[in-house]
Amino acid sequence: MAYKNGVAFVFPGQGSQYVGMGEELLEAYPIVRETFGRANEILGVDYLETCLNGPVDKLNDTGNTQVCIYILSYAIYKIIEDTGFKPQVIAGHSLGEYSALSAANALKFSDGLQIVAKRAELMSKAAAKYPGRMLALLGADMRAVEDIVSDLSNRGTISVANYNCPGQIVVSVEAGLADLATDALSMSAAKKVVMLPVSGAFHSTMMQAAEDDFRAFLDGYIFLGADIPVVPNTLAHPVIDAVELRNALQTQISSSVKWQQSVEQMIGLGIKTFVEVGPGQVLSKIIKRIDKQVEVFATENPPLLAKAIDRLKKA
């Protein structure tokens, strides 16, 4: 499989949220309010209010963050879809994989919404039971990070959560080991260590209980073959088969996010343009660090979205 002059859509995950996200799009595109309205009918919660007005602590709570990002990302995708354009491949970072699956029609929006809400609930419970932290390592040396993580694993639970891009790795660590890990990593593996504003040590074995319950919960939902190839976080290669997509999703909660490998795989297949579909520009910046030659477009407000759509019309 190879994509000539290809375009990929990528969907952001937790960490891209901010109070006020979607406000300008809401005024310009009725489908944004309609999508949040559908979510309100299904879940009985006004997530639009949380997106627009927060407060920050409420929006940053995992139970709200994941659902808010999923809804807004899907609404932005529908705006683009209405132009008649479809990407050649699609991917999402962690939570964003659910937006990707819904955009690729492997999962109904309503089903994806309920699954994301349950995922957030289970992850929040696991985080409360097994307190942990996520450390973003900037200017990181991958091999040095992996060596330190291996050494510290004798002292407690620690693992690489995200391979984001060259020089940027995220580590999940149990709370009692966080200070020691920060000191060790900052001394010899990274130029800077930043504690992320999340409520648990996601993509680690501390999420295993959540993953086990989530696997059983997923049995109640139907997955279809994807209309657009999806690159799952755990596999880092394009997939359309429903069973394979479900299996990849089942193991995602406690597994590393292979984002750099996923983007490199898409570029290797001929993708030259990436459109970040959702709030923020986290993925846009990461992708540019992976390969400066590719085009990257954000969509978080009307001017940026219009610029992206204009480029897609020429694709």
Task: List active site positions.
Answer: 94, 203
CA atoms within 13 A on the CB side of 205: 6
Query: Which long-range contacts link 216-224 to residues 24+ away (Cβ below 8 Å)?
Result: 217/115, 217/118, 217/122, 218/115, 218/246, 218/249, 218/250, 221/107, 221/111, 221/114, 221/115, 222/111, 223/101, 223/106, 223/107, 224/105, 224/106, 224/107
291 token code pair: 């390969």
What residues contact residue 101 under an 8 Å CB cut-off, 6+ apart?
A: 92, 107, 112, 223, 226, 230, 245, 249
Q: If residue 271 lies in a helix (H) or strand (E), which one and from where to where? A: strand 271-276
Beta bridge partners of 170: 136, 162
| Location of structure tokens 């990707």 | 100
Question: Contact, 112 vs 106, CB < 8 A?
Answer: no
